Structure 1
Amino acid sequence: MNQIVLTGLVLQAAPVGEYDRRVVILTKEQGKISAFARGARRPNSPLVAAVNPFSFGEFTVYAGRSSYTVQSAKISNYFSELREDMEGACYGFYFLEFTSYYTKEANDEREMLKLLYQTLRALTNPHIPNRLIRYIFELRALCINGEGPQVFQCISCGKTKGQLVFSVKKGGLVCPDCGKDVIDGICLNQSTLYSMQYIESSQIEKLYTFVVKENVLEELARVMKRYTDVYVDKRFKSLEILETLVGLE
């Protein structure tokens, strides 16, 4: 077996047998991997805290024929603040589940890993509303996956001038000439459109550096709810729990 060191973040962890855990880790080098942490449920195991969701760091693993085995871990961030904040933890688990759904093994997932890490950091910042963090994450994750909306020009002809409307079914902005058959058009507040453009185009490290007014937040909520209903082919259990907890629709 070959020993390798992977940088990553634990997305899922589940008990296996009497003392082991099976973990899913999003890594910079190998994409999403599944691995077994032998003895990780023993109280004196050095892996007891390292293989929990949200743990980020370096994982030394052995690559077998069909699976990995975690040998050791050097965790640089446990995101322990989320363990003390029920709402923050619920948002965090939703982001982990969303990420796990969209990522694959042996795929280049560095952008998703970076986005997830910066998003979890934002959750520990009391100055940024959790709802805004959610919509930023969802929109940028969809862009990374190649399903983000066109928010800079008409999706059909490329026109940037005039009264463009946002159509979920068309996948972005539509001008009056191209949108004669559009029945779901939304006239976006200019601040909402600017926010979406910033989310799609800025560096991930600078995503969570702004806040918006309540009316813009509400419009972002409506747009992202409609967009994810159409383009995300999964209902996340963690999102159901989150919406029950915070009363979101």
Structure 2
Amino acid sequence: MNQITVTGLVLQAAPVGEYDRRVVILTKERGKIAAFARGARRPNSALMGVTSPFSFGEFTVYEGRTSYTLVSASISNYFQELRMDVEGAYYGFYFMELANYYAREANDETQLLKLLYQTLRALVNPHIPNLLIRYIYELKTVSINGEGPQVFQCVGCGDRERPMVFSVRRGGLLCDRCRRDVSDGMVLNPSTIYTLQYIVGTPVEKLYTFTVSDEVLRELGKVTGRYLETYVGKRFKSLEILEQLTKLG
């Protein structure tokens, strides 16, 4: 077996047998991998803490034919703040579940890993609203994976100057000439369109550097919600729990 060291973040952890754990790790070098951590649930195991979700760092694994075996890990960030904040934790669980949905084994997931890490860092920043972080993450995730909306020009004719509406069905902005036969066109605040453009076009490192008005936040939520419902088409368990928590809050 080949021993390698990868940089990544634990997305999921599940018990296996009496003492083991199976973890799913989003890595920079190998995409999404599944690894077995032998004895990780024993009280004195060095693998107990490093195999928890949110753990980010370097993982040394043996590469087998169909799976990996975790040998050791050096964790640089446990995101301990999220473990003490129920709502923040479920935002994090949802973000990891969405990353797990899109990530593939043996695929270059560098940008997705970078996005997830920066998003978890934003969650522990009290100056950025969690809802804004959610909408930014959702839109950037689908964009990284090639399913993002066209927000810089009309999807029909390519015009950049005429007034635009946003059509989920058509996958982006439509000018006033091309929108005639479209029934789902949403008229957006110019600041919302600019925000969409900033999210789609800005490097991950600079994403979480702004806030928006309540109106823009509402419109952003409407656009991303309808867009993910149409193009992702999956309900995530962690999101359902999160929405129940926020309603109770």
1:226 maps onto 2:212 in alignment: no
Root mean square deviation, CA, Å:
0.8
Shift of 1:177: 1.7
Shift of 1:176: 1.7
Q: Deviations over 1:203-240 (max 9, x none)?
A: 10010000001111111111111111101121100000
Partner of 1:21: 21
Shift of 1:163: 1.3
Q: Distance in 2 between matches of 1:67 and 1:162?
A: 53
Partner of 1:97: 97
Partner of 2:85: 85
Aligned ranges 1:16-95 → 2 under 5 Å: 16-95=16-95
Unaligned runs of 5+ in 1: none
Shift of 1:160: 0.6
Partner of 1:123: 123
Partner of 1:149: 149
Q: Report the residue type matching 2:204 in the other structure.
A: I
Q: Distance in 1 between matches of 2:164 and 2:211?
A: 24
Partner of 1:137: 137
Q: Report the residue type matching 2:179 in the other structure.
A: G
Q: Distance in 2 between matches of 1:174 and 1:217?
A: 21
Partner of 2:196: 196
Q: Secondary structure at the match of 1:50?
A: helix
Q: Distance in 2 between matches of 1:179 and 1:35?
A: 49
Shift of 1:246: 0.3
Q: Distance in 2 between matches of 1:163 and 1:212?
A: 22
Shift of 1:62: 0.2
Q: Report the residue type matching 1:95 in the other structure.
A: F
Q: Distance in 1 between matches of 2:180 and 2:58?
A: 53
Q: Distance in 2 between matches of 1:63 and 1:204?
A: 30
Shift of 1:179: 1.5
1:178 maps onto 2:147 in alignment: no
Partner of 2:245: 245
Q: Deviations over 1:9-63 (max 9, x none)?
A: 0000000000000000000000000000000001100111000000000000000
Q: Distance in 1 between matches of 2:79 and 2:59?
A: 17
Q: Report the residue type matching 1:71 in the other structure.
A: V
Partner of 2:2: 2
Question: TM-score, normalised to structure 2's length?
Answer: 0.98
Once structures 1 and 2 are overlaid, which stretch shifts more, 158-167 or 128-137?
A: 158-167
Unaligned runs of 5+ in 2: none
Question: TM-score, normalised to structure 1's length?
Answer: 0.98
Q: Secondary structure at the match of 2:173?
A: strand
Q: Distance in 2 between matches of 1:127 and 1:176?
A: 38
Q: Secondary structure at the match of 1:247?
A: helix
Identity rate of aligned residues, in percent? 69
Q: Distance in 1 between matches of 2:168 and 2:143?
A: 14
